Amino acid sequence: MGCSSSSTENKKSEKVVKAALVIQNWYRGYRARLKARQHYALTIFQSIEYADEQGQMQLSNFFTFMLENFTPSRKEDPALVSRLFETTFQDIKDRRDYVGLIDVPDSYEGPRLEFPLTFTDIGQLLEAFKQQQILHAHYVLGVLFETRKLLKQMPNFTHVKTSPSKEITVCGDLHGKLDDLFLIFYKNGLPSGNNPYVFNGDFVDRGSNSIEVLMILLVSFLVYPNDLHLNRGNHEDFMMNMRYGFTREILNKYKLHGKKILQILEEVYTLLPIGTIIDNEILVIHGGISESTDLNLLHRLERSKMRSVLMPPVSINKDNATDLKKSKMGITLTAPGRVRSSDLSSEQLSKHEWEQIVDILWSDPRGRKGCYPNTSRGGGCYFGPDVTSKVLNKYQLKMLIRSHECKHDGYEICHDGKVITIFSASNYYEEGSNRGAYIRLGCGMNPRFFQYRVTSSTCMSPLHHRVHAMENSAIRILKERIISRKTDLMHAFQLRDHSRSGKISIAQWAFSMESILGLNLPWRSLSSRLVNIDKSGNVDYMSSFQDVHIEKPVKEVHSTLIETLYRYRSDLQIIFNVIDSDHSGMISMEEFRTMWKLFRTHYSVDIDDSQVDALANTMDLNKDGSIDFNEFLKAFYVVHKYEKLSTSEAS
C-alpha cells in the first residue's frame, strides 16, 4: 500500500516538473521573440538615423559644388561665401554690446544669474529647469560670452589626472534629454572639485531641452573649469542643428533674441576642446579614430577653424565677383567651370586637418580588421581592432572611450576591452528602447559602469506592450521612408513581375527594397509587418504602400516631384536657411529657381524645371515674388491611415 502511494506521488511530481519545463521553455521562447522584435525595431531606428546623417554629410559635397558653380554678385557683400567658408566672427561684438542691450524685466520670475558664477547658480538653474522655467536671453548670452572667453584659453585636448580618492565620471551623448542629466547628478552627485566630469559631446539636438542641458553644462564649466570637461561632438555644429532640432528650439524659446544666441553659439562650438586624455592612458573623443589619426597634429591645429563638418576646405576667389544680377542671396549661376585660387586659405583648415577632425567626430568601431569608409553615416570611417591597437600603442595609451552610438545597455566594450562606447541618453529612440549609462574611472582602477533609465508611467506597462509601441513607431518611420521612394520601388518591383500579376517572391521584394532604400535591414523578417503575403509566399507589392501617402499641397502636381521634395526636404531646408542671410524666412522666386537647378544637377534629380516652377508659383500665395520656404517644405507630409481615422473619430 505504502509503495503504491509513493509511486503515485512520484508520477505527480514528474508531471509537475514536466509542466514547469514546458511553461519555462514557452516563456523563454516568448521572451526571445519579444527581444528579437525589439532588436528589429532598434535596427530600423538606427539604420534610418544613419541614413539621415549620410544625407547630411553629402551636403558638404553640395556646398562645395555650389561655391564652384556660383559667383558672388556683389563684391562688397559676398554673403554666401562668408556664411559658408569664413571663420571670422566679425559681427559678434563684445559682451556689453550684446548682453548690455537686453534688459531683464521685473516681471521675469526665472533664475537670475550673477557673474562670476558660483555653485549656488548651478543649483538655482537646476531647480528652475525642474519647474520648466526658461532662462532669460540676457543670462543665456552672458553664459555664452563667458564660456567663449574661457574656452579660448584652453588647448585642443584637456589633460586630467585622477587618483583612487578622486575618480572622474565620463558621460556620453545627452541629446537634449534633461531628465537624464538630472538623474545622473542625482545618482552621481553634482560637479565639484572632488567630483569631476567629462561630457563627451552631443549635448544638443533631437531632445526638446537642449538649451537647458547646454546651460547647465556651461554654467558648471564656468564654476569648475578644471573639473568639468566638455568635448565637442558631431552635433556641436550649427548646420547639424538646422536639421536635428536645436536651431528650431532656440528660435521658438527665444523669439526676440534667438538669432543672437545662435550667432555666438556658432563660435562657442568651434572653441570646444576635441578630446580629453585621462592619466596619460585613456583617450576620450566623441567618435573614434582612423589608421591615419595623428594626435600630434590634432594637438596643434587651430580647432576654431572647424565651423562645420559640412564645410570642407574649398578654394574660393572673391575677386571673381562681377556685376551680376542683384539678389538677397548674393549669388547667381555662372558658366560651367571651377573657381580657382584662394584668398581663404588662412581662414580654413587644410584638407588633411579637416579629415582628421571628421574622423574623431564621426568614426565607429567594428569587429572587422582595417579601416574603411563609414558608409552608414557617410563620414568618418569604420576602424577595426588592429587600428585601435596601432594608434593606442603609437601614443602609449591603453584605452579609447567614445560615444556617438546608441547602445541598448547604455555602453558596449569591444576590441579586446580597448574601446568603450558610452551613451547617456536613455529612451533615445522610443520609450524603453535603451538604457543610459556613465563610467567612473580612477587611477589604477577598472572602469565601473552605472546604468539607468528615466521612467514614466508607460515603463510600468508589461514588456510586450512596450515592445509593441516601439515596433509600431519604428514601422511608422520606415513606411515614411518607403512612400518617399514609391516611384522608384514600383519600377523595381515591375521589373521582376514578368507576368504582370502584381506579385513577386519575398526574395525579389526584399532585394528590391534594399537596392532602392539602402538601409541594410532584414527585409524578409520585416515583411510580415510591411506587406501582404499570399499562401504561396508571394508578395502583393502594392501593399508596400498601404495605409500611407504623401499629402499633396496641389492635386495637379506629379507624384514623382512630391516624392522628391519630401525625400530631400531636410536638405533643402538647410540650403535655403544658409541662403537666407537676413533670416526672414523668405526667398525670391528667382533664388528658388536658381538653387533648385543647382540642386537638381548635383543630386541627379530627373525632374522637369517647369514642374517646380509651377508648384513654386502656386505656393507664392500673395503673388509678391517671394515664398516662405519653411512653409513650402512643410506642405509635404506623410499621412498615415490610422492617424486619419483617429482624427475623424475625435471630430
CA distance between the termini of the chain: 75
Q: Of 230, 293, 286, 298, whose CA–CA distance to 401 is shortest?
A: 286
Q: Where are the beta strands (DSSP E) in 103-187?
A: 157-160, 168-171
Using CB atoms within 10 Å of the CB of residue 367, give its burial: 0 to 12 exposed, 13 to 18 middle, 19+ buried.
exposed
Residue keyed to cell 505527480:
12
Give the DSSP H or E segment for 288: none
Other residues' Cβ atoms within 10 Å of the Cβ of residue 25? 10
Q: Of 230, 224, 256, whose CA–CA distance to 98 is shortest?
A: 256
Q: Where are the beta strands (DSSP E) in 517-621?
A: 532-533, 538-540, 548-551, 586-588
- The CB-side HSE value for 451 (13 A sphere, CA atoms) comes to 9
235 is catalytic: yes
Q: Is 420 helix (H, G, I), strand (E, B) or coil?
A: strand
Residue keyed to cell 473619430:
649
Residue keyed to cell 519555462:
24
- One-letter amino acid identity for 266? E
Q: Of 95, 146, 76, 138, whose CA–CA distance to 118 is shortest?
A: 146
179 and 149 Cβ atoms separated by less than 8 Å:
no
442 and 426 Cβ atoms separated by less than 8 Å:
no
Which residues face 372 on adjacent strands? 382
162 and 283 Cβ atoms separated by less than 8 Å:
no
**What angle separates helix 559-567 from helix 569-579, to the nearest 10 degrees?**
70
Other residues' Cβ atoms within 10 Å of the Cβ of residue 583? 11
68 and 332 Cβ atoms separated by less than 8 Å:
no
| Sequence-distant (≥ 6) Cβ neighbours of residue 285 within 8 angstroms | 200, 231, 274, 275, 276, 360, 361, 400, 402
134 and 100 Cβ atoms separated by less than 8 Å:
no
| Sequence-distant (≥ 6) Cβ neighbours of residue 622 within 8 angstroms | none
Q: Which of 136, 235, 286, 415 is catalytic?
A: 235
The residues annotated as belonging to the active site are: 235
